[in-house]
Amino acid sequence: MAKDLTGMPFEQIEAFVSELGGKPYYAQYLFAAIHAKGVDDVAQVTPLPKAFRGTLAERGYRIERLHPVEHHTDPDGTAKLVFDVGDGQRIESVVLTDGDRRTLCLSCQVGCRMACRFCATGKLGFARSLGAGAIVEQVYQAAARCGRIHNVVYMGMGEPFDNTQAVLDSIRILNHPLGLGLGQRHITLSTCGLPEAIRRFAQLCWQVRLAISLHAPDDALRRRLMPVAGKVPLAELLEAVREYQRITHRRVTFEYCLMRDVNDSPAQARDTANLLHELNAAVNLIEFNPHPGCGYKPSDRDRMHRFRDVLGRTGIETVIRYRRGRSIKAACGQLGAAWLTDGASHGNSASPRDQASDP
């Protein structure tokens, strides 16, 4: 059976190199060739002996690369890459530019099980999870076309804690000094909020930033907006966050998408402040981005500013994330939106499952 070397963390490569009788430093050559030098064929890893390269090929080891089939650019500088991941399925990644720094919003699944009502990806249903190789390849391919990637956020298509092993492996690969060497503090993992997964993630004591989709200050509204919240009361979620912070001593960012006359009132801002005031928390207020079949509307700017000011007066650091990349459907919540109307291939429709997998 073919084995994708691109998705193997360094320790895994070390293990199979040893099993094949190779020298320990063979693993360093192999990992660096894949993740630092962009080699795409084991036969081209010339620091390795020819016989060992032949053994790798015979055993089915290969280097799989992901290549974009579309590249769109918005007037504001935002870029969207569309990748064919096989079986007629596609994913999207977005590069956001801020001065000379670039942040990649990458995907970890084809579609998503969570089915959040305001998210285009959630309307696509779920097809499958991506391997670690396909996740890290989005970073390399984005860098090749847009320039060096300084930050990576797991906020694209899919729920990271519904594809835990591949996501964690991809972080290990991106962080390794023989590869990209991306610092953990330059990586953000965004989740809809699965308590057990958050607790297990805390045990790793990584410096990776954690972001949690909140979007409502009470259980009733959150259940309306996010079906997964039906099994995760806010009290249970926030207790998991407190445990995470007791272990890691790290601040958590809460994502809150503002929708007109749904979750953007001054009273809801005060409730949100009361909910988070005991935590070491920051809030990103996200300007809602419309897409086909979604009846929600964005809050007006004045209302967004008032919501921010209410949180700010309580000492919660709050930033408004304004729309970027709307003309190419690359804004937050819009990934896959084009496929809702144009008939392009996308994830197979599926209902959100009862409980996502945990680390």
Kindly indicate the confidence band of residue 348, based on its pLDDT and cuts at 50, 70 and 90: very low
- Residue 67, Cβ density class (10 Å: 0-12 exposed, 13-18 middle, ≥19 buried): exposed
pLDDT in tens, 52-91: 999 999 999 999 999 999 999 999 999 999 999 998 899 9
Tokens 């504001």 label which residue? 76
pLDDT at 349: 36
Residue 80: HSE in the Cβ half-sphere, 13 Å Cα cutoff:
24
Strand 317-321 vs strand 281-287: parallel, antiparallel, or unpaired? parallel
Q: Single out the residue of 261, 314, 325 nearest to residue 283, CA to CA.
A: 314
Give the amino acid at 235.
A
pLDDT tens digits for 250-307? Answer: 999 999 999 999 999 999 999 999 999 999 999 999 999 887 778 899 999 999 999 9
d(CA 102, CA 293): 31
Q: How many CB atoms lie within 10 A of CB 142?
A: 25
The Cα–Cα gap between 33 and 41 comes to 10
Q: How is residue 128 written in tokens?
A: 């499958």
Q: What DSSP character marks residue 240?
A: H
Longest dimension (CA), the chain: 70
Q: Decide if 124 contacts 340 (C-beta within 8 A).
A: yes
The residue written with tokens 């249970």 in the block is 236
Arithmetic mean of pLDDT, 207-233: 96
Please give the domain boundaries of the chain with CATH numbers for all domains.
3-62 (1.10.150.530), 68-342 (3.20.20.70)
Cα(9)–Cα(175) distance, integer angstroms: 10
Active-site positions? Answer: 92, 332
Whether the CB-CB separation of 8 and 135 falls below 8 Å is answered with: no
Residue reference for tokens 């995907």? 107
Question: Is the confidence at residue 337, as pLDDT, over 90?
Answer: no
What is each CA distance from 274 to 2, 118, 218, 223, 319, in whole angstroms?
Answer: 53, 24, 11, 19, 18
